[in-house]
Amino acid sequence: MKALEQRIIEAGKVLGPTVLKVDSFLNHQIDPQLMYEMGKEFSYLFREEKITKILTIESSGIAPAVMAGLQMNVPVIFARKRKSLTLTDNLLTAHVYSFTKKETNEISVSGSFLNHDDSILIIDDFLANGEAALALAKIVEDAGASVAGIGIVIEKAFQNGGKKLREKGFKVESLARISSLENGQVEFLSNELEETIQ
């Protein structure tokens, strides 16, 4: 998605060979218009699937997921990383190991909102090692529902998550696929827009 690649080049900050900071438009400050365009793109990319619900994970997945839900006219559920006082019954859980933070978090979703006949689109902001997407897919499958696809805002294609998910047979669509962050430069897989950012 050109507008997203352009924004990554203009506003992303490469903090290391695997770390891209995009907190000026996605992870901390959010650009609602860009999210809206991303929602349209997700809706287009998964137009062949009969999506009944979207599942994401707090917090940075929520904005793109809600915009996709708006376009596709389906509810959005966000998995919680922290326990909720009022979210206690019928919990589906999974563990997510974060390679960056070197810690394992339990995420949870109320089983009340996932049905056997649901066809779920998983949406997340980043795809690196695939841990979060796999945990969300496990929750969907534990509920007896099916994963219709996985939509990612930014895929770090030089890490193995995308390969892992595609090998498992999931339809994965990423709005931007980064092939390298070496030397402080962002390069995209598309090869159409390889430029340097600071």
- By the criterion CB under 8 A, which residues form the site for a copy of itself? 15, 19, 21, 23-25, 27-33, 35-36, 58-59, 62-63, 66-67, 69-70, 73-78, 80-82, 84-87, 100-101, 109-110, 112-113
Return all residues near 168 (Cβ < 8 A) that are at least 6 apart.
none
Residue number, 47 or 163, with CB nearest to a copy of itself:
47
CB of 77 to a copy of itself, least distance (A): 5
Question: How many other C-beta atoms are found inside a 10 Å radius of the C-beta of residue 96?
Answer: 20
Residue number, 29 or 190, with CB nearest to a copy of itself:
29
Residue number, 28 or 166, with CB nearest to a copy of itself:
28
Peptide bond into 60 cis (omega under 30): no
CB of 167 to a copy of itself, least distance (A): 28
HSE (side-chain half, CA atoms, 13 Å) at 106: 8
Q: Is 132 annotated as a binding residue?
A: yes
Question: How many other C-beta atoms are found inside a 10 Å radius of the C-beta of residue 37?
Answer: 17
Q: Which two tokens stand for residue 66?
A: 């809600």
Query: 172 burial class (0-12, 13-18, 19+ CB within 10 angstroms)?
Result: buried
Residue with structure tokens 């006949």? 117
Residue number, 126 or 170, with CB nearest to a copy of itself:
126
Q: Is 130 annotated as a binding residue?
A: yes
Q: Is 27 annotated as a binding residue?
A: yes
* Whole-angstrom distance, CA of residue 174 vs CA of residue 28: 20
Q: Is 34 annotated as a binding residue?
A: no
Q: Is 141 annotated as a binding residue?
A: no
- Extract the annotated binding site: 20, 27, 128-132, 156
- Extract the annotated binding site for 5-phospho-alpha-D-ribose 1-diphosphate: 128-132
